[in-house]
A = this chain, B = another copy of it.
Amino acid sequence: MSQSSKSPSPVPTSADVARLAGVSRATVSYVLNNAEAVRISEPTRRKVREAAEELGYVPHAAARSLRAGHTRIVLLPTSHVPIGPLYSAFLNELQWALRRLDYTVVQYGSLGLTGDEAARAWAELRPVAVISLGEITLSAHNVATLKRAGARAVITLGPVSVPGAHALVMDQTEVGARAAAHLVERGHRRIGVVVPEEEGLELFSAPRLAGARSTAGAEVEALPMAYTEESAAALAARWSSLGLDAVFAYNDEYAMLLMRAFQDEGLRVPEDVAVMGADDLLIGRLLRPRLSTVQIKMPTGDHLASLVDRAVREPSEIAERHDLMAAVAIRRDST
């Protein structure tokens, strides 16, 4: 009610600057954007600059992009799940690299949205690109919505490729396959594969499990386990009844947890049970025995960022599918 129209300091606009400098809004725009096409006299420039400074004028990004007809927003849907240090670091790097290319990164939490709802919500922001890890399953129709709303690139990082989207394949299947192959090679047959109970990790865990399953000579069993001491202890306690001789523990962190539980249970690693991690974290090398792992070669954030940038500039130029991830087993002492 008392929020009258005479509030003391409404946001200063370019019109305010123009008025103070005694010029037109056009001139303000020219000066502040260093327009090449127009020559403005030095005195005028100074007047405008000073006026802007004095008012603390800051241009309005929304107005500008409304006029321009496009944004430099890159939308990054985020899951609500801790995704592990390796991917967090990668995502960070990516964000950072995008900033350097002058994109504005918008993290958009999309919990519990359907593909349709998410696509609509994202499209409202008119992002120039969308990079989806796969927390939301996009349909071809969703991709179309995004593109119609001006997205020049819709990029999926998951294993599934959506029609119309650029698929930058980071195939977790490979990780599971490498792990299982390594274990088989070391003489193991009956292999347990840990599947985290934490919600949201299926994105990674399901393909890893599938990859292990697909490995010749391996007989694999899925082992649900939460990232808690209790859960690991419970699994270790019933281990002997499982008739397994090796385990691929999803990643190094779960592996550490499980290995400790085994040791507390009196099981010897790797004699009684071989343990394999993934992600090649530093902690794996600090454990005793040192943890064998699957090293994942991720693209650098800069690399993906420049791929995105190219896709934005020339949408057709980037191939639809593009392999980005390699996985290789590293043997240390736990297998």
Contacts and interface: CB of A to CB of B under 8 A. Distances in A.
A220 interface: no
A111 interface: yes
A150 to B, nearest CB: 6
Interface stretch (A85-93, A156-164, A172-180, A267-275): A85-93
B61 A285 contact: no
Interface stretch (A121-129, A181-189, A292-300, A323-331): A121-129
A224 interface: no
A283 B283 contact: yes
Given A82-B88, A99-B109, A111-B96, A60 B124 contact: yes
Interface in A42-92: 56, 58-63, 65-66, 71, 76, 78, 80, 82, 85, 88-89, 92
Contacts of A229: 282, 285-286
B78 A82 contact: no
A148 interface: yes
A237 interface: no
Contacts of A82: 85, 88-89, 92
A314 to B, nearest CB: 13
A11 interface: yes
Contacts of A139: none
Contacts of A93: 80
**Number of contact residues on A: which range applies?**
35 or more
A210 interface: no
B256 A58 contact: no
Contacts of A257: 282, 286
A95 interface: yes
Contacts of A9: 148
Contacts of A111: 96, 99-100
A77 to B, nearest CB: 11
A126 B61 contact: yes
B286 A124 contact: no
Interface string A205-226: 0000000000000000000000
A58 B145 contact: yes
A267 to B, nearest CB: 15
A59 B123 CA distance: 8
Contacts of A108: 99, 104-105
A260 interface: yes
Nearest to A263: B288
A92 B66 contact: no
21 contacts: A11-B126, A12-B148, A56-B144, A56-B148, A58-B120, A61-B62, A61-B124, A61-B125, A62-B62, A62-B71, A62-B125, A66-B66, A76-B107, A78-B95, A82-B89, A98-B109, A99-B109, A105-B107, A106-B106, A228-B282, A229-B285
Given A58-B149, A256-B286, 7 more contacts: A58-B120, A78-B95, A80-B93, A95-B107, A96-B111, A229-B282, A260-B286
